Each structure stands twice: as C-alpha cells, then as structure tokens.
Structure 1
C-alpha cells in the first residue's frame, strides 16, 4: 500500500512588532482549519513564526530581548494551537525563539518543534547554520544578528511520524548540502524547513534579484540529491519596512515543485505526497550504499593549526591566489 501524506504549507504574511502572539496564533489556527478542510494531515509554519523577525534590530536591553523568546512550549499564548491540533487531528511544525535554562545558564536557540495530530510535541530541532553577524553593523539598512541572539544547535536528526521518516531544518540550513545529506543518510523521506529571508542581502546586494531563485534552487537540489520531499515555508511580505521573499513550495524527490504559494500573505496550499516515491531515487540514482564513496571525499579537520585528512595525515593547503 502506498503511503500518502497530505501536507499543508501555512505561509504567514508579515508580523509587525506591535502584533501580539495571541493575534498571530489566531491567524495560524485559521490556517490549520483551512488545511484540515483541504484534507491535510500536517501543516508547516515558518521560522520564528510567533513574532516579527527581531534579529533585524540591535537590542542591548536583555529584558527587551527576552520578550521575543518562549521559555516553555506550549505556553498560554500557543496552547490554542495545540488544542486545535488535537481537536482536528492535524499535526504541525512550528518555528520560534527558545530561551532555555540548562546547566544553570541561559541559552538561546532558533528552534522548531514537530507536533503530532494528538497535540503532543514529538521532536525538537535547534538551528545549526546561523547566518548574519554577531556585532552591530550600523552601515546596514537593517541588521541580521542571529549569531548574536542564538547559539548553534547540536545537529540533525529524524523522527518516525505521520507514517514516514521526517526531518527538520530552519532557514539558512536549506542552503547547505550537508543539511540534506545528513538527514538523507538517516533515511529521511520528508524535511520541513521554515524560513524568513529578506530580499535585500546587505553584504552582497548583487544577489537581491536572485533571492527567490536561490531559495527554490536549494530546496530542489536537496530534495533530488537525497531522494526526499522538502517542504519550505516562508514568513513573507513587508515586515517593519523590510521586504522578505515568499516562494513557499513543496518539492518532490524528483526535484519537481508540486505546490507553491502565490502571494506574500497568509496562504495555505496543500500537496498529496507519496512517501514511497522516495524509494525510486533512494534505491537507484542515489542509493548511498551502492554508489556513494565517502572514502574519496577527503574529509578535512583542523588540529592545532594543522590541516589534516580523515586518516590524520597532514595536508598542504594552498592559499587562494597561489
């Protein structure tokens, strides 16, 4: 029997700084109801879905900064989303800023959770590839301070859920081939990726016209090269004066886009995904056991200033331009 999973993209339009969490959760609940009416088993929301994208500001007051983070999940503001998931039998992926006290110290992560159709958290992921910068850069039109406000997560894992093997990533993770490959090596059949991506790239403005293209390119390449479905969902539109891309889409293991959001507003789109279709690629072109040759990839590590191959042999590295 073919395993089908009906997946909804819950793309969010802008969230302004004055918008409270309760109003955002109401929007998300409305989208979950629409997703259920369209036959979805799970809905995917964006990265940092509960607030405006606060890393665009340099914030020195810790109390002001803490207000953008969640210290528990669910909490009073998000509980209606969990309750509705349980009522409708629809699971969800949700990105948010997490503030955790671990080993007696305050830690901050860009986090996503996976919630079952019973309203129960079944997996958590903390973003690995943090973009941007750590110090105030006044020359920028707006900041991108993820390196200041978050620490990297420990790595990528998969969860057996919704009848298949599911992975999670966040935003900048989607640009790195390692994200998909590490998930693919664990048998991942579908990866959920929420993102917030401004149109303008301050260090490389020549990329601005390519922002949407690069987004879809990364999602398609990751899907095809690892024989998995990839669901990328944006928070889009003009938020606090900053225009962000939309382009939320669902990509098949073939690399083909099978569903795409058309606006930069709140929008729900659904695709019926055959998880068994992954095997067409995992057992042929991208059969890792048969065709992948990790011994030839020359894994490089650093030790005391030396560059070493995987077997510990020192490597001579030529500087760029020589």
Structure 2
C-alpha cells in the first residue's frame, strides 16, 4: 500500500525588524490553516522564520543579539502554532535562532525542529554549513555574519516520522553533496530545508543572476542522487532593503519539481508525495550497497564519531584522506 504524505510549502514574505513574533506566528498559523484546508499533513516553514534575517547586521551588544534568539521551544510567542498544529493534526518544520544552555555556557545555533501531528517536537537539527563571515566587513552592501552569531551543528540524523524516514537541513547545507548523502546512507525519504538566500552575493556578484537557478539545481541533484523527496522553503522578498530569492518547491526522487510557489510573499502550495516512490531509485540506480564503492575514492561518512562504509561497517580510510 503506497505511503502518501501531503506536504505543504509554507513560504514567507519579508519579516521586517519591527515585526513582532506575535505577528509572525499569526502569519504562520494562517499558512497552516490554508494547508489544512487542502489536506496537508505537514507544512514546512523557512529558516529563521520568527525574525528578520539579523545576520545582515554587525551587532556588538550581546543583549541585542540575544533578542533574536529563542531560549525555549515552544515558548509563549510560539505556543499558538503548536496548539494549532495539535488541533488541526498538521505537523510542521520550523527554523529559528536557538540560544542553548550547555555545560560550557550559552551557545547559539541556527536550528530547525520537526513537530508531529500531535504538536510534539520529535527532532531537532542544528545547521552545519555556516556561510558568510565572522568579522565586520563594512564594504559589503549588507553583511552575512552567520559565522559570528552561530556555532555549527554536529551532523545529520534522520527520524521515523509521518510514516517515513525524514531528515532536516538548513539553507547553505543544501549546496553540499554530503548533506544529502549522509542522510541518504541512513535511508532518508524526505529532506526538509528552510532557507533565506539573498539575490546579491557580495564576494561573487557574477553569481547574482544565477541565485535562483543554483538553489533549485542543488536540491534537484540531492533528491535524484539519493532517491529522496526534497522540500525547500524560502523566506523571500525585500526585507530591510535586501532582496531574497523565493523558489520554494517540492522535488521528487526523480529530480522533478512537482510543486512550487509563484510569488515572493506569504504563499502556500501542496503536493501529494508517495514515499514508496523513493524505492524506485534506492533499489536500482542508487542502490548504495550494490553500486557505491567509497573505498575506491576515499569518501568517509562520519556519524556519531565512527567512520562508516556504504553498508555501515567501520573501515579504515586510505592514507592521507
């Protein structure tokens, strides 16, 4: 019996610095209601969906920086979204800035969570591939200080949820082959990705006209080469004077785009995703156990401190790898 999952794109338009979390959560709830009305079981929201994209500013005041971060989830501002999720039976992916209390003290992460249809958090992911720069670079039209404000996460794990195997990534992660491959080796069937991507690339402005193309290209390649669905969702439009791409879409394991948003504002779109369709690729062209030979080219996949081969067994890396 096919395993169908109705997945909605919950694309957001701009969030200005003056917009409150209450206002933003109300927008998220409206998108969730729209998704429920057309039968969605899961809605995917963008990266850093609760605030403006604050890494575009160089900020030295710690209290000001921390004002963009969540110290708990859910909290008073986001509880209505969790309550609505439970009431409607619609799960969600949400990206936000997390201020975590760890043994070494407070640590800042660019985080996403997966919430099931009962409104319970079932997985958390922290962004691994942090783009941009760490020090003040006032020559830029706007800055991209993720390396200053966030600590990188420690890898990708998948979760049994929504009747399948689900993984998460965030924004720049989508450009790197290992993001998909590490989850692919764990049998992932759907990768959820939120992003905030400016049209302008200060270090390489010749890329500007290709921003939307590269966004879709990387997700289509990841989907096809790992036999998985990929759901990519933007926060788009002109936010605090910075134009960001849209292009939210749902991509099948074949690499084909099956649903997309058409605007750069708040928009919902939906697709019926057959999770069993992944097997057509996982058992044939991309049957890793049968065809993949990592020892031949020194590819190492790290998971929980182990060095893994294609079949999950520990193997020694070639000298110099």
The answer as to 2:233 corresponding to 1:246 is: no
RMSD over aligned Cα, in angstroms? 1.3
**C-alpha distance in 1 between matches for 2:299 and 2:178:** 13
**Structure 1 partner of 2:154:** 154
**C-alpha distance in 2 between matches for 1:164 and 1:311:** 32
**Structure 1 partner of 2:90:** 90
**Structure 2 partner of 1:210:** 210
Task: Show structure 2 runs of 5+ residues with no match.
Answer: 302-315
Q: Call closer, same or farther: CA 1:161–1:288 in 2, change over 3 Å.
A: same
**Shift of residue 313, structure 1, vs aligned partner:** 2.6
Equivalent residues in 2 for 1:1-322, closer than 5 Å:
1-299=1-299, 311=317, 313-314=319-320
**Structure 1 partner of 2:312:** none
TM-score for the superposition, normalised by structure 2: 0.94
**C-alpha distance in 2 between matches for 1:229 and 1:271:** 11
**C-alpha distance in 2 between matches for 1:81 and 1:245:** 25
Q: Helix, strand or coil for the counterpart of 2:174?
A: helix
**C-alpha distance in 1 between matches for 2:113 and 2:128:** 14
Q: Call closer, same or farther: CA 1:311–1:176 in 2, change over 3 Å.
A: closer
Matched residues, number: 308
Q: Call closer, same or farther: CA 1:177–1:37 in 2, change over 3 Å.
A: same
Q: Call closer, same or farther: CA 1:38–1:63 in 2, change over 3 Å.
A: same
**C-alpha distance in 2 between matches for 1:154 and 1:103:** 16
**C-alpha distance in 2 between matches for 1:156 and 1:128:** 8
**Structure 2 partner of 1:319:** none
Q: Call closer, same or farther: CA 1:192–1:314 in 2, change over 3 Å.
A: closer
Q: Which runs of 4+ in 1 moved over 6 A?
A: none
TM-score for the superposition, normalised by structure 1: 0.94
Q: Call closer, same or farther: CA 1:165–1:311 in 2, change over 3 Å.
A: closer
Q: Call closer, same or farther: CA 1:311–1:229 in 2, change over 3 Å.
A: closer
**C-alpha distance in 1 between matches for 2:15 and 2:22:** 12
Task: Show structure 1 runs of 5+ residues with no match.
Answer: 302-309, 316-322
Q: Deviations over 1:192-241 (max 9, x none)?
A: 00000000000000000000000000010000000000000000000000
Contact 2:48/2:95 (8 A) holds in 1? yes
Q: Call closer, same or farther: CA 1:311–1:226 in 2, change over 3 Å.
A: closer
**C-alpha distance in 2 between matches for 1:129 and 1:298:** 21
Q: Call closer, same or farther: CA 1:12–1:312 in 2, change over 3 Å.
A: same
**C-alpha distance in 1 between matches for 2:75 and 2:17:** 20
Q: Call closer, same or farther: CA 1:136–1:294 in 2, change over 3 Å.
A: same
* Structure of greater Rg: 1
Contact 2:298/2:317 (8 A) holds in 1? no
**Shift of residue 61, structure 1, vs aligned partner:** 0.3
Contact 2:25/2:50 (8 A) holds in 1? yes
Contact 2:236/2:246 (8 A) holds in 1? yes
